[in-house]
Amino acid sequence: MTEPRWDVADFDSASAEAAADLLRPVCASRRWLETVVTARPYRTLAAVDEASDAAVAHLGWADVLEALAAHPRIGERAAGQVREAHWAREEQSTATGASLEVSTALHDANVAYEKRFGHVFLICATGRTPLHILEDLTERLDNDEVTERDVVRRELSAVVRLRLARCLR
């Protein structure tokens, strides 16, 4: 899949609509998108990353849930041909290639996590083995809700940074 990748200068000078279209697959939170697009110009990718991290940190929990709703369950193949699905498949490529035993354990832990916290388990899976993801998921099941929300925000920021780097240079 060919992905548009813009120079930050072009992103800074684009219309709000064009800039939003570029970033919409990066994070499904409308508030994040509005915040990042409205705060232009940035001049550097590092400045976009910093603004994105701040935007994620200041999202209301409903906005975080909106972002999470676009993420497939870890270990399950994202459906569709849109950029988000393509990226999710690549980001989770190691998790979707797990052994049957680990895949089953991931599925069961995902279900337990969703029952406990009421949303999909989010982890920046890029570069992590299925076993490492399972260990993190299992450990995070012991978190209280406040701690887990902090972890979710950090993981969301990490995923968003990876995706920003796919859109901007």
pTM attached to this predicted model: 0.86
pLDDT in tens, 139-166: 999 999 999 999 999 999 999 999 999 9
Chain-centroid distance, C-alpha 23:
12
Q: How is residue 118 annotated by DSSP?
A: S
**Lookup result for tokens 């813009």:** 6
For 80: left if phi > 0, alpha if psi spans -120 to 50, otherwise beta; the answer is: left
pLDDT in tens, 36-92: 999 999 999 999 999 999 999 999 999 999 999 998 888 665 454 555 544 545 555
Mean pLDDT of 117-123: 97
Domain definitions of the chain by residue range: 8-167
Query: What homologous superfamily is domain 8-167 in, according to CATH?
Result: Oxo-4-hydroxy-4-carboxy-5-ureidoimidazoline decarboxylase (1.10.3330.10)
Write out the DSSP string of 37-89. HHT----SHHHHHHHHHHHHHT--HHHHHHHHTTSPPTTSPPPSSSHHHHHHH
